[in-house]
Structure 1
Amino acid sequence: MIGIAVLGAGRIGKIHAANVAANPKAKLVAIADPFADAVNPLAERLGTEAMSDCMAAIERPDVDAVVIGTPTDTHVSLLLHAVKLGKAVLCEKPIDLDMAKSEEAAAEVERQNGRVMLAFNRRFDSTFAEMRKAIDAGRIGDVRQVIISSRDPGMPPESYVKTSGGIFRDMTIHDLDIARWLLGEEPVTVTAVGSRLIDPSLRQYDDYDTAMVILQTASGRQAHINNCREAVYGYDQRIEVFGATGMLVQDNLRPTTMRVWTAEATDAREPLLNFFLERYTQAYRAELDAFVDALSDDTEMPTTVRDGVKALRLAECAVESVRTGRAVTV
């Protein structure tokens, strides 16, 4: 059994803690969070120990690995402390909002041969994973274009926006990682535009609510990402991969596949799943299972700190492109 401590008892911490508790190869040793109102009921529900000190949780001798779901500005210190003690880490993205700090952390992890996995959960979504397998199997020939639509159902609260790092580092970064993964080549140029069509007050945070990004690789492969913080019809998550001999499409998920025809509506369906917690439930579970499997089987981590650095670099390029109005070389 791999002893795991989950750091953070917020909405992401709750997901990870439940998934650790459900994994037969892992033991949820503790959940740590300085806010007792969050950590105590979660630990009690999952039958584990509640702690207020994340560093102390890392240092426990019965902890072999940690899952970091704390605020972004704590990631580097917790991650490096765990690596220094020889503990494996599953860390939520991004490593940090600062590019230089992220680069330094990744270099230190690599210098110490740390076992660190970056939590890009969408790679573990069953349909996305099947897309990657189909590409590898040559079912659509050489990839030419990847089109990603990713829209939230509503604006996050201002308290979240202030510390999020902006739409490109917070929201688009998931799509940038998926674009890299599906293209099969690293982008070399980034072109982006950003607008404030929902909340003009985002100007005070130099942020946007609506964005589009174009990526291009050295061979000419392209990816188009479109994001919006508000889609009135629900959590919009679609992907199209166009190749030389075919196309792969991933559509939105709904609670059921039932469709209704009546005098009032034709081909009516249930609304889309509400948000990422519902849409990516399976992906979060598969991500945690992949982390545990890599530890128990002593295999490579399926994602690394370097993946986190590369996705953040693309986000930084998108920010610069919006600022300058020009394509940016990665």
Structure 2
Amino acid sequence: MLKVALLGAGRIAKVHAKHIDDNPDSVLFSVSSHTTESAKKLAEKYRANVLSVEEAINHPEVDVVLIATPNDTHADFVEQAARTGKAIFCEKPIDLDIARVKACVKTINESGVPFMIGFNRRFDPDHSALQQALAAGEIGSLEHLQINSRDPSPPPKESFPGSGGIFRDMTIHDFDMARFLLQEEPVSVSTIGAALVNPEIAQGGDLDVIVVTLQTASGKIVVINNSRRSGYGFDQRIEAHGQRGSLQVDNLPATSLVKSSEECGTQAQKSPYATRDRYSEAFSAQWAAFIAAVKANKPVPITADDGLKALLLAEAAIESYKTKKVVSVSL
């Protein structure tokens, strides 16, 4: 049974706490947060200890450190945990600065500790099936990939300063998904965007509606559509078009119930409105894969290098938006 120190007590930390507790090979040992009351409440739910970050990382009984704190704190905590020799699971991104990420990856590699970055969508059953079908050549060579990802509503205002903006905080999932499905790396990035959803996002210098185009050396094209607002639920759709057909992943309704009547025509159920609901299976499978790798002393499925490459694409997208030019990238 691996004992886990959870750093963070916010929305994503609560999701991780549930899956730590559900897994038969892990137990939540402690919760650490600058918001003491939130840490106490979460710890009480899972019969865990409340410790400071330093106490948790250095505690002799802790086997794994799970980092689910604000984005701009990740690298420091990763390096502290790596130096203790503990296994590390870190929510994306490793940091908001490329140079800082590279230094952190160097520390991880030198320490030799298991380290996995949290790109849970790879573990979604539908996305996994899509990747396997593409790899098996079911539609021949992939030509065009369309990724639609729209949140039900913008994130809380208090999360703006440390998020790094839409490309580093939101689109980074889609950059990783593109790499997961493409089977080759993008070499160019082009971006357009606007702030249409929330005036506070615009005032902060960020965007909330964007379109990113990626292209590989062989010519494969990926189009990513993002928005911070979707009035019909968490919009997560992917279409892959190839030389012999197409593959699609559609939104998941709350249930498969469809109502047909004279009054309303045909109505399907709404999609989930929260990440934890849409990707519940993915979060569980992600954690199970990490724990299994740590216990068996085998490589983890998603590495620090994957986190770095996704962030490099985010930085290229930002540069493209600012310069209004296609930006070359080497991963």
TM beyond 0.5: yes
Partner amino acid, structure 1, of 2:14: K
Aligned CA RMSD, in angstroms, stands at: 1.2
Partner amino acid, structure 2, of 1:82: A
Three-state SS of the structure 2 residue aligned to 1:261 is: strand
> Does the aligned pair in 1 maintain the 2:82–2:107 contact within 8 Å?
no
1:202 corresponds to which residue? 201
> Does the aligned pair in 1 maintain the 2:4–2:64 contact within 8 Å?
yes
TM-score (norm 2): 0.96
Q: Which stretches in structure 2 are left out of the alignment for 5+ residues?
A: none
1:243 corresponds to which residue? 242
1:83 corresponds to which residue? 82
1:2 corresponds to which residue? 2
Task: Confirm or deny that 1:156 pairs with 2:155.
Answer: yes
Partner amino acid, structure 1, of 2:10: G
> Does the aligned pair in 2 maintain the 1:213–1:225 contact within 8 Å?
yes
Task: Confirm or deny that 1:225 pairs with 2:224.
Answer: yes
TM-score (norm 1): 0.97
Three-state SS of the structure 1 residue aligned to 2:39 is: helix
Three-state SS of the structure 1 residue aligned to 2:261 is: coil
Give, in whole Å, the separation in 1 of the partners of 2:87 and 2:96.
22
Displacement after TM superposition at 1:277 (Å): 1.8
**Partner deviation per Cα, 1:244-295 (whole Å, 9 max, x = no partner):** 2222100001110111111122220111111212111111111111110101
> Does the aligned pair in 1 maintain the 2:72–2:162 contact within 8 Å?
no
1:281 corresponds to which residue? 280
1:26 corresponds to which residue? 26
More deviation, 21-30/185-194: 21-30
Q: How does 1:62-81 map to 2 (within 5 A)?
A: 62-81=61-80
1:189 corresponds to which residue? 188
1:325 corresponds to which residue? 324
Three-state SS of the structure 1 residue aligned to 2:66 is: strand
Displacement after TM superposition at 1:54 (Å): 1.1
Displacement after TM superposition at 1:201 (Å): 4.3
Three-state SS of the structure 2 residue aligned to 1:230 is: coil
**Partner deviation per Cα, 1:83-137 (whole Å, 9 max, x = no partner):** 1111110000000111111111112212222311000010111111111111222
Three-state SS of the structure 2 residue aligned to 1:287 is: helix
> Does the aligned pair in 2 maintain the 1:55–1:78 contact within 8 Å?
no
- Runs (4+) of structure 1 moved beyond 6 Å? none
More deviation, 198-207/139-148: 198-207
Give, in whole Å, the separation in 2 of the partners of 1:95 and 1:38.
23
2:135 corresponds to which residue? 136
Displacement after TM superposition at 1:27 (Å): 2.3
> Does the aligned pair in 1 maintain the 2:149–2:235 contact within 8 Å?
yes
**Shift in CA distance, 158/126, structure 1 to aligned 2, threshold 3 Å:** same
Partner amino acid, structure 2, of 1:2: L
2:55 corresponds to which residue? 56
How many corresponding residue pairs?
329
> Does the aligned pair in 1 maintain the 2:70–2:163 contact within 8 Å?
no
**Partner deviation per Cα, 1:153-193 (whole Å, 9 max, x = no partner):** 11223222232211111110100100111011110000000
Three-state SS of the structure 2 residue aligned to 1:12 is: helix
Partner amino acid, structure 2, of 1:20: I
